[in-house]
Amino acid sequence: MKKIMIKDMENYVGETVKLGAWLANKRSSGKIAFLQLRDGSGFVQGVVVKEEVGEEIFQTAKGLTQETSMYIIGEVTKDDRSSFGYELQVKEIKVIQAAVDFPITPKEHGTEFLMDNRHLWLRSRKQHAVMKVRNEIIRATYEFFNNNGYVKADPPILTGSSPEGTSELFHTKYFDEDAYLSQSGQLYLEASAMALGKVFSFGPTFRAEKSKTRRHLIEFWMIEQEMAFCELEENLEIQEQYVAFIAQAVLKNCTLELERLGRDVSKLENIQAPFPRISYDDAIKLLHEKGFDDIVWGDDFGAPHETAIAESFDKPVFITHYPVGIKPFYMKPHPTRDDVVLCADLIAPEGYGEIIGGSERIWDYDLLKQRIQEHGLDESAYAWYLELRKQGSVPHSGFGLGLERTVAWLSGVEHIRETIPFPRLLNRLYP
């Protein structure tokens, strides 16, 4: 008898198989018990009929507690009533370990309670679906960049400098030297791009900002791209192609998960390149037309502003050419305006906010040195970064996509904390 995964049941219709599973939920009706089983690959209903299995197995089924682990043997049959399409006609049950007082029951629980029990909340149908969407985005990311000639680079997590200053970094010591948890791998990707042409990275990043909003994390995962001989407009085209690619991959490969999450997939079906663009100047005008009097030219956008701008479009929208004063030191100035830089933020629809930040980088040595000094940064910490501008410097651009916000948007969940397996540094250390 073959032991299989739930996701593979379609290949074993009419056959008797063995599953290793946990009990997600159960109900009984007279002489029939219905077991909601999960094994990590999916969920399926197991049907236990007393007349077919006998008194002992039927009583075992009725006595199973939530999250009890077991081996279960049964015949795979089609079930057109369920979205999964199959169920298991149970013949035997062997309990591995009976769970006691599992704290997350089918009733409603508050977010804080669920986050305190994150190690167990991950087992729920909703969280299982979110993690599968997250995994598909990661899988599609590697496919996109590999298919387009990129090389994966791995920037360090402990760094001696920061792309955006050190005020929002976690400080530590690297033996006798100051070091920081990485805020971004961008500077190292720029060096990699000068060697490999087109590079990307995927790894954890950290921001030392306490926040309990539904859109912010202290620890999150970033997908970053850098490309030599690439100016801003070409980089925007790469961004929209990439985002469209992962959105369509989720639509294609996460049908059951999106249905379980109640996601309105019609809002994802039109995520195709090109995406609309609006300049920062015009975005400020648009906000004033919409009645926002709390923002003037030179201010950065808050969540309400981004949402209002996004509502004017049915796709993600690029906001381009931000004021130089609210962007990092490395962004290249506009060629005809000294008050804005060659950059863009990509704002997701439906109030999910910025999912990508990108720019063309300064590749002139003297200008970059000047900007480092103007921002009060330690020039010696950036000596290697400056040297890139002396050894065959070229125009180059890149971007960073926040994985968790993208997962939240594509899966339609309300709170970003649902999109990361273990948010250890979310205002308190995870035990």
pLDDT at 428: 43
CA distances from residue 283 to 6, 288, 289, 320, 333 in whole angstroms, order as listed: 49, 9, 10, 9, 19
Q: What is the pLDDT of residues 9-59, one digit of tens each?
A: 999 999 999 999 999 999 998 899 999 999 999 999 999 999 999 999 999
**Residue 58 near residue 64 (C-beta atoms within 8 A):** no
DSSP SS3 for 366: helix
pLDDT of residue 238: 98
Determine the pLDDT at residue 94.
Answer: 98
Q: Which residues pair with 93 in a beta bridge?
A: 72
For residues 119-141, average pLDDT: 96
pLDDT of residue 217 exceeding 80: no
pLDDT for residue 208: 80
Largest Cα separation within the chain, whole Å, is 85
Domains of the chain from N-terminus onward: 2-97 (2.40.50.140), 119-418 (3.30.930.10)
The answer to whether the peptide bond before residue 274 is cis (omega within 30 degrees of 0) is yes
Residues whose CB is less than 8 angstroms from the CB of residue 89 and which lie 6 or more positions away in sequence, other chains included: 46, 47, 49, 52, 74, 75, 76, 77
SS3 content of the chain, % helix, strand, coil (to 5): 35, 30, 35
**Pairing verdict, β 277-279 and 219-228:** unpaired
Pairing of strands 43-49, 69-78: unpaired
d(CA 338, CA 341): 8
Question: What is the pLDDT, as a whole number, of residue 430?
Answer: 37
pLDDT at 164 over 90: no
- Asked whether the predicted pLDDT for residue 427 surpasses 50, the reply is no
User: Per residue in 99-121, pLDDT tens?
Assistant: 999 999 888 888 888 888 989 99
Average of per-residue pLDDT values in the chain? 92
For 240-252, what is the mean pLDDT?
98
Instruction: Give the pLDDT confidence of 49-85 residue by residue, as tens digits.
Output: 999 999 999 999 999 999 999 999 999 999 999 889 9
Percent of the chain topping pLDDT 70: 95
Q: What tokens does 235 get?
A: 């980089």
HSE-CB for 121 with a 13 A CA cutoff: 22
